[in-house]
Structure 1
Amino acid sequence: MPDSRVPRPRRFLVCEPRHFAVQYAINPWMHPDHHVDPGLAHGQWQALIRAYRAHGHTVDVVDPVSDLPDMVFAANCALVLAGRVFGSYFLAPQRRPESLAYESWFKTAGFDVYRPASVCEGEGDLVPVGDYVLAGTGFRTTREAHHEVQEFFGVPVVSLQLVDPRFYHLDTALFVLDDGKGGGEANIAYYPEAFSPGSREVLTRLFPDAVIATREDAMTFGLNSVSDGRHVFISPRATALADQLDRHGYAPVPVDLSEFHKAGGGIKCCTQEIRS
């Protein structure tokens, strides 16, 4: 099995953490008294970009805006499928201007952008895998937005209820190991206790061979990871999860983004995938 995993080149959009800081609290990880080391944060972010490029992935960079400290979390700006962009509408007023900044980048790059009418936080709560879009709700993105996503893309949307505020976005509790687009079988890794009982049953039915993470690995942002079908860019503190992935034929690539954990984010939060 280890030799059968084939990586697929991806195109990622990121934002330099030039203005990253914890200036307010909009999730349980954030405390305004948390001091962010700007130099360390920038160095960690650069290490992530180097890791992506070293593994054959394309990385585009959007210019940061000075008064938007969370703009580094590019995943929340949109969902891009088949070259179509479904934009974002943030729950927190502090983050809403980010939507326009990213929309401007997409339009300059030649994309049309759909503006949702309901609260929707992009890939934070929208995870394409196989024939579906898995969609989180409970803390940020609304079920009404799930309906908008299905109507816009014409792809079945599976709503999943998040129940633990520590895992306020779907991408903190679940990530795609193989999206099924490169010939492999679609599969995920997730932390069951982040979901309602009914949502856990849905995930079990859809992904019977999923990798199940421990709470310890989930709390170290081990599920805020990015996979290209073989390489998994993952928090170095999620050691048990990395061992599991290795046994399943994936190649963990540890990247430390611990400064961004202070704002409730990690590798995936900093990474938007542009799917053409």
Structure 2
Amino acid sequence: MTISDVATAERASSIRTSRPRHYAMTAPTFFAVEYAINPWMDTSVPVDTHVALGQWETLRQTYKELGHTVELVEPVTGLPDMVYAANGGLIVNDKAVAARFAYPQRAGESAAYAEWMTRHGYDVAETRHINEGQGDLLVVGAIILAGHGFRTQHQAHDEIAAIVEMPVVSLELVDPRFYHLDTALAVLDDTAIAFYPPAFTERSRTKLLELFPDAIEVTSADAYALGLNAVSDGRNVVLPAAATGFAEQLSDAGFRPIGVDLSELLKGGGSIKCCTLEVHP
């Protein structure tokens, strides 16, 4: 990096501002890979729940050290994927939508997260069509980017738009390794994103670049580490530690990357964002 590059990065960093966030998380107390519903899951590979708990706790403490509020949702026995809290629903614009899962193995998670939302004062809405929460529904400023192709059904997008009273931009996913939008796209602030172009149809790629002409495009190496399954507060970007190239791109763009190792939870097909349900205002 040249002196000019450093100066540019420092100027960009000075205008990046963090905002306190509100997250809900569920400890991986019962985490296991008991079935395979995405390409990352292999039931023949052992899972160390103790390691998973330690990595998850590091993520929780990272959020707290950054000044964010973290509330806990009680894990439920028999729901090994409940640690992936982002899939539990969508909370934005003072509205809450419960997830409707594609696979019966995860159906019980919807009730658990809906109960938590109800206890927090939300009148929880449901969709007729499949929606897998913030796995496929990412808030960017005043709009929602919504994925479809593997889990959330395209028809659910109109339902979501009507419930939360926000415009929804539909994006089609084409690579089964990136089965949720949050595995192929990261929201960095209200106007900035990063994404992996090969995970999308040409039409969706064009749409993203029209909306976000300065979007960061990550390499395959970082995408395959689920590097885009990241969480940003507008300045600090918590991302999988293995995504070193993406971390450099973030630094160059004025963000502060913070790597966290969630390799044990990656065995279930999830990482930082999957473990984090953001409670948007």
For normalisation by structure 1, the TM-score amounts to 0.97
Is 1:81 aligned with 2:86?
Answer: no
Is 1:214 aligned with 2:219?
Answer: yes
Name the amino acid aligned to 2:272.
I
Q: Secondary structure at the residue paired with 2:248?
A: helix
Q: Which runs of 5+ in 1 are unaligned?
A: 180-185
What does 1:121-270 align with in structure 2 at a 5 Å threshold?
121-179=132-190, 186-270=191-275
Q: 2:104 aligns with which of 76, 93, 101?
A: 93
Q: Secondary structure at the residue paired with 1:269?
A: helix
Q: Secondary structure at the residue paired with 2:166?
A: coil
Name the amino acid aligned to 1:274.
V
Name the amino acid aligned to 1:223.
L
Post-superposition offset of 1:155: 1.1
Equivalence for 2:61: 50
Name the amino acid aligned to 1:257.
L
Whether the aligned pair in 2 keeps the contact of 1:146 and 1:159 (CA below 8 Å) is yes
Whether the aligned pair in 2 keeps the contact of 1:17 and 1:72 (CA below 8 Å) is yes
Could you tell me how far apart the structure 1 residues matched to 2:41 and 2:94 are?
33
Count of equivalent residues: 270
Equivalence for 1:17: 28
Deviations 1:186-245 (A, max 9, x none): 110000000000000000100000111001100001000000000000111101110010
Whether the aligned pair in 2 keeps the contact of 1:86 and 1:115 (CA below 8 Å) is yes
Name the amino acid aligned to 1:215.
S
Q: Secondary structure at the residue paired with 2:144?
A: strand
Equivalence for 1:63: 74
Q: Could you list the structure 1 runs, at least 4 aligned residues long, displaced by more than 3 angstroms after superposition.
A: none
Could you tell me how far apart the structure 2 residues matched to 1:130 and 1:60 are?
23
Equivalence for 1:36: 47
Q: Secondary structure at the residue paired with 1:98?
A: helix
Could you tell me how far apart the structure 2 residues matched to 1:111 and 1:172 are?
27
For normalisation by structure 2, the TM-score amounts to 0.95
Post-superposition offset of 1:131: 2.5
Could you tell me how far apart the structure 2 residues matched to 1:12 and 1:132 are?
19
Q: Which runs of 5+ in 2 are unaligned?
A: 1-11
What is the identity percentage for the equivalent residue pairs of Structure 1 and Structure 2?
A: 51
